Every structure is written in structure tokens, then in C-alpha cells.
Structure 1
Amino acid sequence: MKKVINIEGMSCGHCAGRVKTELQSIDGVKGAEVSAEEKKAVVELTNEVDNETLKEAVIEAGYEVVSID
């Protein structure tokens, strides 16, 4: 299962790295590919993770979630 998170505020690889670290620390997240250029994260899940949990991780990294698909 995958979810796409659209994110505002990332401007470089360091930003993307912070988001990736936060997302991958969530139980149930197998991996995350984050792109500052595309302003999104593609998260691969091993089991269902609530969108609010994903959103909180992005906010903790210092960025804003636009949407989760």
C-alpha cells in the first residue's frame, strides 16, 4: 500500500531528508521517497497508517501537508 503526501515548504535535499527520517520512524512505514523538487513524499506502508499520523510527522519535521492521497 502506498500513500502520496503533497508537502509545502521543502526547498532542498536536507529538507527532504528531515521529512524522510520522520516518516520512516512511524510504525507501519516500510519506506519513504521524498522529493523537494516535486514537493511530495511517496510512503510505502506495511499496514494501514492513519493520515493524521503521517501529517503529524511532516509537521514535526517543520513542513506543511497540502494533501494525502
Structure 2
Amino acid sequence: MKKTIKIEGMTCGHCAGRVKKELEEICGVTSADVSAEEKRAIVELAHEVEDNRFEAAVAEAGYEVVGIE
């Protein structure tokens, strides 16, 4: 299972790394591919995870979720 998270505020690889770290700490996330250039993260899930968990993790890294698909 995959989800794509659209994120505003990332400008570089360091930003993407911070978001990746926070997302991969969520229980159920097996991996996160984060791109500052594409302003998105694609997360692989072992099981369903509520969207508000992604929003909280991205906010913790200092950025804003603008959409989840």
C-alpha cells in the first residue's frame, strides 16, 4: 500500500531528509521516498495509517501537508 503526500516548504535535500526521518518513525511506514524538488513524499505502508499521523510528522519536521492521495 502506498500514499503520496504533497508537502509545502521543502527547498533542499536537507529538508527532505528531515521529513523522511519523521515519516519513517511512524508505526506502519516501511519506507518514505521524499523529494524537495517534486514537493512530495511517497510512503510505503505495512498497514493503514491515519492521515493525521502524516500531517503531524511533517509539521514536526517544520513543513505543511497540502494533500494526501
Normalised by the size of structure 1, how large is the TM-score?
0.99
Aligned match of 1:31: 31
Cα deviation, 1:18-53, whole Å, max 9, x if unaligned, reads: 000000000000000000000000000000000000
CA deviation after TM superposition for structure 1 residue 68, in Å: 0.3
Q: Distance in 1 between matches of 2:8 and 2:54?
A: 14
Give, as a single letter, the amino acid of the residue that structure 1 aligns with 2:45.
L
Give identity over the alignment, percent: 65
Q: Unaligned stretches of 5+ in structure 1? A: none
Aligned match of 2:60: 60
Residue 54 of structure 2 is aligned to residue 45 of structure 1: no
CA RMSD of aligned residues (A): 0.3
Q: How many residues align?
A: 69
Normalised by the size of structure 2, how large is the TM-score?
0.99
> Structure 1: which 4+ aligned runs deviate by more than 2 Å?
none
- SS class of match (1:11): coil
